[in-house]
Every structure is written in structure tokens, then in C-alpha cells.
Amino acid sequence: MKALRRAVVKKLENWVARSSLVGNSTFFSVEQFPWATQLEENWLVIRKELEQVLEYVDELPNFQDISPRQRRIANDNRWKTYFFFAFGFKATKNCERCPETTKLLEQIPGMKVAFFSILAPGKHIPEHRGKYIGVIRYHLGLMVPEPKTACRIRVNDEVAYWEEGKSLLFDDTFPHEVWNDTNGYRVVLFLDIVRPLRFPLSVVNSLACRLIAASPIIQDAKANHESWEKRFAEVVK
């Protein structure tokens, strides 16, 4: 059964690669995604709202608290999250606390997931890969501590470094790994965006995203977030 599943996934990935309107590379350019320019132009606006969130960093949920399936790569309290959207779910209270960021996010075509990804000093995310090639991963650097070489991401065989106010786009189905070997927090605006595809795969991809939104994984994450949100409301009121 596992062999059959792998064969089906491989066939789908090959089909996507042939149908992708932005190519099938490890990293992508900002020019391929015009909306990214608006995020870069407003990165200080987003960072200002982030700074207010970070006043409560210890109360923010760990990634595995929201999505238990992430425990293999997130099993401590050094990867904090602040969610805005996730496959149809809107974290209303979080969005209300960051209205300008939310406005910018709502203008992005095909945006499926959006959150502040906050890595504490010394955090290492071991090698892993995304399971769905129908989306592309986006990071906007908001807080990037020095030295540059100590805060990095490896995707396949390529190493990249975040820059404050700059975009980083990549295919997360390639094996990737992250290090924050600095004394400061590394924070990015983390998005998953629907991969632009030719017809008919674009329709298949849209259907797949709807199925993901209805899946137990997303529904459990939604319930976990709502539970955290109730507790957090008591802290910030």
C-alpha cells in the first residue's frame, strides 16, 4: 500500500512539474509573484504589529501545539507560531490584533496558510519535506539576527539566508532544514500559496486544497488554535 501511495505521489509531482507556470525549481524569484513586492514595501508595517505580538512570546503556541503532526521537527518550545489563516480557517482575534498585516494577506491570490514563524535562539529544524507540491512556500524576513551565516535554510543542496524586508520562495517538497544558531529571534511571515498551474491541473489543485481544508488534520489544528485563543484572550485583555 505504501509503495502504491509513493508511486501515485510521484506521478502527481511529475504532472505538476510539467504543468507549473512558474517552473519546477528549488527557489523562485520575486518577479514570478508580483504580490510579494507589496509585502516587501510594507514589511516595516508588518514588523511593527509583530513587535506587539512578541511582547507575549512565551504565551504563543508552539507549532506542535497547533499541529501535532509536526512533533518530529518541533518537539520543544523554541518554534512559536501566530496564525492568521490556514486553508479556509481565519484566526479572527489574531487578525484583529494585526489589522494592517491582515489587509495585506487578504490581497494575496491563492494564499492558503499565513502565520508568524518565530524561531528562538539555538533552534534547529531537522531535515523534512512537505507532502503537497500544489503549494509554494513563502517567507518574508521580519527579524533576522546576525551573523548571517548562523541563521540559514538549506533546500535540497542550496543554502539561503533571510534578509529583513526581503522575500524567499521555495518548493518545500524538496528536503529542507533550518538553523538559528544566533542569540536572537528569527521571525518570518510564513505563507503557503497555491502553485500557478495550467488547466486542467489547476482545477485538480483547487479541489485538492478543498479536501485538505476539510481534512482531520486541519480541523484538529483549528480546534487546537481555538482552545489556545481562549486562554490567550485572558492574558491580553
Residue 9: the pLDDT is 64
Residue 120: the pLDDT is 98
The owner of cell 528569527 is: 186
**pLDDT tens digit sequence for 171-212:** 999 999 999 999 999 999 999 999 999 999 899 899 989 999
Model confidence at 102: pLDDT above 90: yes
Residue 16: the pLDDT is 79
Cα R_g (the chain), whole angstroms: 17
Residue 2: the pLDDT is 59
Helical H runs in the chain? 2-19, 35-41, 43-54, 63-66, 92-97, 99-106, 201-214, 216-236
Residue 194: the pLDDT is 96
Model confidence at 125: pLDDT above 80: yes
Q: Read off the C-alpha cell for 2.
A: 505504501
Q: Check the CA dihedral 76-81-87-89 and report its sign.
A: positive
pLDDT, mean over the chain: 93
Distance, in Å, from the CA atom of 230 to the CA atom of 93, rounded to the nearest integer, reads 10
Residue 170: the pLDDT is 98
Model confidence at 24: pLDDT above 70: yes
pTM of the model: 0.95
List of residues 6+ apart from 212 with CB closer than 8 A: 87, 132, 218
Helical H runs in 55-118? 63-66, 92-97, 99-106
Distance, in Å, from the CA atom of 122 to the CA atom of 114, rounded to the nearest integer, reads 24
What is the percent of the chain with per-residue pLDDT over 90, rounded to a whole number? 84
Residue 130 near residue 173, CB atoms below 8 Å: yes
**pLDDT tens digit sequence for 35-54:** 999 999 999 999 999 999 99
**pLDDT tens digit sequence for 148-165:** 899 999 999 999 999 999
Q: Give the number of other Cβ atoms within 10 Å of residue 113's Cβ.
A: 19
Q: Read off the C-alpha cell for 164.
A: 529583513
Tell how far CA 87 is from the center of its chain.
12
Residue 131's pLDDT band, with cuts at 50, 70 and 90, is confident
Model confidence at 3: pLDDT above 90: no
Strands (E), 100-225: 111-119, 124-128, 135-143, 151-155, 158-160, 167-170, 176-180, 186-194
Model confidence at 105: pLDDT above 90: yes
Model confidence at 117: pLDDT above 80: yes
**pLDDT tens digit sequence for 54-78:** 999 999 999 999 999 999 999 999 9
Cα–Cα nearest to 113, from 95, 135, 132: 135
